[in-house]
Every structure is written in structure tokens, then in C-alpha cells.
Amino acid sequence: MAKLVLEKEMIYALIEAVRLSEEIKPSQDAKRRAFRKYGILGGKRDPLVTAIFYGIMKHLGVLDRMIEDIIGIEPLVLDPWLRAALRTVLEIMVFRDPSNKTVKLFDKPVAELLSTKTHPYTGMYYHRLFQSRLKSYKYNPTSREAVIEYKYFLPSWYVDKIREILGDEADQLFKSFDNPLPISIRVNTLKASVEEVMEILRKDGKNPVLSKIVPTVIKFQGPYNFEKSPLWRRGLVIIQEEASALASLILKPEPGMVVVDLAAAPGGKTEHMGELMKNKGRIYAFDINKLRMKRLKQIISRAGLTIVKTYLKDGREAPRILGEEIADRVLVDAPCSSDGTLMKNPDLRWRLRPEKVVELSRLQYELLEAGWRLLRKEGRLLYCTCSLLREENENIIERFLRKHSDARIIELKGPYSPGLLKGTMRAWPHRHGTIGFFYALLEKK
């Protein structure tokens, strides 16, 4: 097999992308910015350098263990540029097979970049480190946690949590995280038919496949430039995964209803509910993220919806703002650890933290309580997340049901797998070929 050959600009682009990814989310945006600066974006070198970048994101936790093994201190205390350079060089040295020419670029050229970006001493330190340790480094994990992380490229505590749920089947899930999903779009039925969109995709040389779960969702293999696509620009389609699109169908808002979406941005479900309501009624959409709310407004505008009123507010404030028992339907698509989307967001693996799950579960429960106060008698509330952890899903619903005698679960009998609590449902990436998702449909008695 041929050795990996890289150019200096490719290495510089990778280091800068890794550096920016600590500040810019999602990491794809950081990658695009750095690749554009070094003339990589959209060119012949883009696919190769992109693959290496996502390899770094996937291996990040293990790379940091290597850095600590080499220098004896926690990587997070290092200069950010030095940390990015070490992560990049170790990724290629350990997980790739670089040519001698490429290895030479890891020495003085990288040291020169660090001297320019930070301080000459940083470049000198890196140069000595490369000569003494990096050039011949071999990783040998010894602790149980390190061995597990090297095997699955996932935090060991997370592997243990999923094994508690799936047992030996967990290995299939972990493997599925390495398999990119096809592109998934949902047709805006206010503007186009499914067959019209399918025909346009066929003319573009795609082989679109209609979802068997959500009849307006179409899947096809990338790449696909949405920014240049008339389907996207004219609001004929929304980028949305099948499991996410199913949520609005389960909640089933109808024309003329009052609906509240408590964590609405970036707007895929808000837009979908507006379609199902045939642009009649009212949707109140809450979110605290300015950038994501801006995207929601763009999606709503492109889709041609006029029934959505947005609030740049915490969803927990909605009962104070709107009043209580005013909604026929409430969607609590709660902020979560998003581990069900790891095949789309490899850098999420190493942002998973047990303490963050505890923090999120507190927020999730409080949003659910706020949603319940908004709901009218005989109204319905859907609680959902793209997390696979019990702490963010069934545990929340069990706690809620113990407190609220006026709540009952509307049993979901498919199309995905039963949840760990009777009546709830889960989509599993390895079983269903979509992102991981949890659903619990509640009715106020």
C-alpha cells in the first residue's frame, strides 16, 4: 500500500482546523474555515485532508492520552496551538502510514508554524520533542479505561453505560458510529411533492430512496452541495434525519391548534409541525441560542410558514410568558448529550462527560415540567432526545410520572424498538439505519 504523502499546506490546514474546532462548533465549520484559508476547500486535496481531520476528531481522547504519556502533563494545560499540532502529528504518525517526506514536514515546518502562531520558544520545544519522542513513539495502553478507549474510541464510562442497556449488542452500536449515514432530507409538502423532489435528485445523478418510516423523507449518498441546490434555496426540502422527522408525526399537530416548541432551534421540527398544520393555527417557538434561532427563522421563511412566533428565551420561561394550559400540543425536544448522532459528529465522542449528563438531565426535567404547565386538559406532549443514555430518557419520564397523577403514557408500538420503559420507543443506529432517538408521548388526563 502506498505511503501517505502530504504537503506543508495540508498539514498547516489540519493544525489550524483542529485549533479552531475547540472554539467553533460544529467542527465542520472550523474545518471549512481553515481549509479555505490554505486553498484546500473544494479542491482535489479536500477529501484526503477531510478524512484525516475527522480521524483526529474520532481519536481525540486517545490522542490526548498519548500526549500525556509523552510529556507527563494534562494536554488541556498546553498552549492551544501546541496541543493542536501534537494531536495532528500523532494522528498521522500512529494511525496513518506517512512517507518519509511527510515525516520531515512534521519537524521544522511545524515548529516554524508554532513559532509564528505563538512564541519561538514553543516552536523550539516542539522541535526537541519531535526529535526525542514523537518521531519514534509507540502507544501502549495499560489501564482498563485506556484499553477500552483505544478499542472503541469512546469514553470508557460511556461504553459501560451502553453495555448496561444492550449487553453484547453494544459492540454493533459502537461499530455503527463509524459508518456515515446517507444524506437525509424531508420534502416540504407546502411547496413540492415527494415525486417532484425525487425526479430532481435523479436528474442530479443521485439514486434517491424513500424512507419506509416517514413518507416524506428521502435518503441518498453524498456529496451534495445544498448551498447551490434550488431544492434547498427555494425551501422545497429540509435537511432532517428520519428519526428526527418522525417526532412531529407522533405528536400529530392539526390545523388550527396552538403548539409550543420549547427547544425549537434550528427549526426542522418547528417547520414540520407547521406543514402538518397546513399553515393554520399558531406555533410558539422558544430557544436561547441566537445563531440557531437565526437559522430557524431562515428555515421558516424559506418554507413559507406564517404561523410561527419566535422567542429568544429559555423554554422554562414559556408558562410565564404565554400563560398556563394554553397549548393543544407541546414538543420538548430537549437539549441532550446527542450521543445518538456520533456518526455525524465524531468530535462529540470526547465532549461526553458524566457530570454534563447530570446537568442536562436537570434541564430536561425542568423543561418537561414547563411543557406540562403549558398543556391543556386532554392535550399531548412529546418528550424526545437524540441521546441513548437512560439518564436523559426513561429516568426523566419515570420521575415525572411519579409526580404527576394527571399524566399517562400514550403507548408507541413502532416503527422502532420499544424503550426501556413500557410505552416509550427508541431508534437505534445499528438496528434502524438512522440517528439514535428516544420518544415518550404523554397525555394530560
Q: How far apart are CA 63 and CA 139, in angstroms?
A: 10
Q: How far apart are CA 373 and CA 337, in angstroms?
A: 25
Distances (CA, A) of 126 to 108, 183, 222: 9, 41, 39
Does the annotation mark 386 as catalytic?
A: yes
Q: State the catalytic residue, choosing from 17, 386, 421, 435.
A: 386
For the beta carbon of residue 140, count every other beta carbon within 10 angstroms: 7
Q: Which of 107, 90, 118, 278 is nearest to 189 (CA)?
A: 278
Q: How far apart are CA 439 and CA 173, in angstroms?
A: 19
Q: How far apart are CA 118 and CA 103, in angstroms?
A: 22
Burial 366-383 (b: 16+ CB within 10 A, else e): ebbebbbbbbeeebbbbb
Helix (H, G, I), strand (E, B) or coil at 397: helix
Q: How far apart are CA 230 and CA 257, in angstroms?
A: 31
* Greatest alpha-carbon span in the chain: 71
For the beta carbon of residue 82, count every other beta carbon within 10 angstroms: 24
Strand partners, 442: 381, 409
Q: How far apart are CA 240 and CA 344, in angstroms?
A: 12
- β-pairing, 327-333 vs 258-261, is parallel
Q: Which of 329, 317, 408, 318 is nearest to 376 (CA)?
A: 329
Q: Which residues belong to the active site?
A: 386
